[in-house]
Copies of this chain bind each other. A is one copy, B any other.
């Protein structure tokens, strides 16, 4: 049977999750490997998801006062040394241009791994008075971090992202901005990607190089591992002092600004795949799905079928649905498999008998349910269903995750927890040594502080606990 042969092409999701992931991203033509090790080509189907992500985030950023801009790719190496922690964190991963225009450069140039330095340099040039604050700018760009082990979307030497950079007059305002943009990310992850996230502060070890504090949102993948889906950083005056970002305040005194930065990347596509996918392939939430509805004609050669399908397509387009009519020469079964693998949220099946009966079958990719709907007003039913699918996917992901959060009160408990594919909450004394021990013993890292929770003792050393941490294995 065609269906089985199709499914056979994808590794077993239960037995070999990494291979399942690789099979899905390649076979659905989301991505391909570039000729240089560690690079990826984002193919049209994958890029269309990214464009939908961009469009949703742009709307949220704009609502929060951000404007887009573009800063140069190449950064003088000397910029990195201006912020001590920053250079330590990023220098080992930087790709360096040494020659250009047929000559050796007098100063080597880094391909941006992130843009705090070059943007700081420009803010320092632009900013004069408190009246110009806050500065709220976002950039969509490619960045490069030379990684040893790479996987499409999850970790590649070049990736696409957005990086927001704000500058403020006061510490309090910058801290608020850091928190606000984290909540914008959470809203986006849950409402657009249907991925529930746990937000919180990161430990010193896990924070962004050069930040005072980093906050992250962590998403659980279907193998129980965590994926850091986005981060926001409160940078204090670290970059302001390094790059001389100063302003004349109301009181006539020159002061350093407080800055923040925040970013999400094409990693989010990896998160979508691993948070929702199943044995048949992708399961895409309607908000970011390139195709929200596919129409498959049954017995397409019979009179009137294709015409009716085209009519439905037009109706759906008119109400803003992204719809595709698959009128290719393949069998309906082949098409079912193809579009299920590609994760299209809804499939409309329409044959001569359906037309006679004035109805169509609609298949839901997320629940695999199939039900009949009247052709009369089908566009309304589809729009409602898309909303339902979006909501149900979030709730299903939330239920899966919530069933996999456990508590541990010793190292063995943490190991057992993450071995079982769980997020593990445990008390922590706050010392780096204990954090490192968890890494060595359980190959798990501190994801975020579990905000509002308390524990009596550190699960690692038994001393008094200062925090509760969520430990997990992570991408």
- The chain A residues found within 8 Å of chain B, CB to CB, are 32, 34-36, 39-44, 46-48, 50-51, 67-76, 79, 91-102, 108-109, 111, 118, 121-122, 125-126, 137, 141-142, 144, 146-148, 157-158, 160
Q: Which of B35, B73, B137, B146 contacts A142 (CB 8 A)?
A: B73
Q: Which of B48, B72, B100, B147 contacts A34 (CB 8 A)?
A: B72
Query: By the criterion CB–CB under 8 Å, are A94 and B100 in contact?
Result: yes
Query: By the criterion CB–CB under 8 Å, are B72 and A39 in contact?
Result: yes
Q: Which of B48, B91, B94, B97 contacts A96 (CB 8 A)?
A: B97
Query: By the criterion CB–CB under 8 Å, are A79 and B160 in contact?
Result: no
Query: By the criterion CB–CB under 8 Å, are B98 and A98 in contact?
Result: yes
Q: Which of B35, B40, B44, B111 contacts A118 (CB 8 A)?
A: B35
When all copies of this chain in the complex are counted, the total is: 2
Query: By the criterion CB–CB under 8 Å, are B68 and A44 in contact?
Result: yes
Residues in B neighbouring A109, C-beta threshold 8 A: 36, 95
Interface centre among A91, A93, A95 (most CB of B within 10 A): A95
Query: By the criterion CB–CB under 8 Å, are B99 and A96 in contact?
Result: yes
CB A292 to nearest CB in B, in angstroms, measures 16
Contact of A92 with B100 at beta-carbon distance under 8 Å, contacts A32-B122, A67-B44, A160-B70 already known: no
CB A290 to nearest CB in B, in angstroms, measures 9
Query: By the criterion CB–CB under 8 Å, are B47 and A69 in contact?
Result: yes
Q: Which residue of B lies closest to A328 (CB)?
A: B131
Chain A contact residues, majority secondary structure: mixed
Q: Provide a sorted-by-A list of 22 A–B residue pairs whose CB atoms are within 8 angstroms.
A: A32-B122, A32-B126, A36-B74, A41-B71, A41-B122, A42-B69, A44-B68, A44-B69, A50-B70, A51-B68, A70-B160, A73-B158, A93-B101, A94-B100, A94-B101, A95-B101, A96-B97, A97-B98, A98-B98, A101-B146, A141-B142, A142-B142
CB A443 to nearest CB in B, in angstroms, measures 23
Query: By the criterion CB–CB under 8 Å, are A35 and B97 in contact?
Result: no
Q: Which of B72, B125, B147 contacts A36 (CB 8 A)?
A: B72
Q: Which of B48, B79, B122, B160 contacts A67 (CB 8 A)?
A: B48
Q: Which residue of B lies closest to A32 (CB)?
A: B122
Residues in B neighbouring A99, C-beta threshold 8 A: 95-96, 98, 108
Q: Which of B47, B76, B100 contacts A95 (CB 8 A)?
A: B100
Residues in B neighbouring A34, C-beta threshold 8 A: 71-72, 118, 122
CA distance A101 to B93 in the complex (A): 4
Q: Given contacts A44-B67, A44-B68, A96-B99, could you give 5 more A-B pairs where the C-beta distance is less than 8 Å?
A: A32-B125, A36-B76, A47-B70, A48-B67, A98-B98
CB A334 to nearest CB in B, in angstroms, measures 14
Query: By the criterion CB–CB under 8 Å, are B68 and A35 in contact?
Result: no
Query: By the criterion CB–CB under 8 Å, are A76 and B35 in contact?
Result: yes
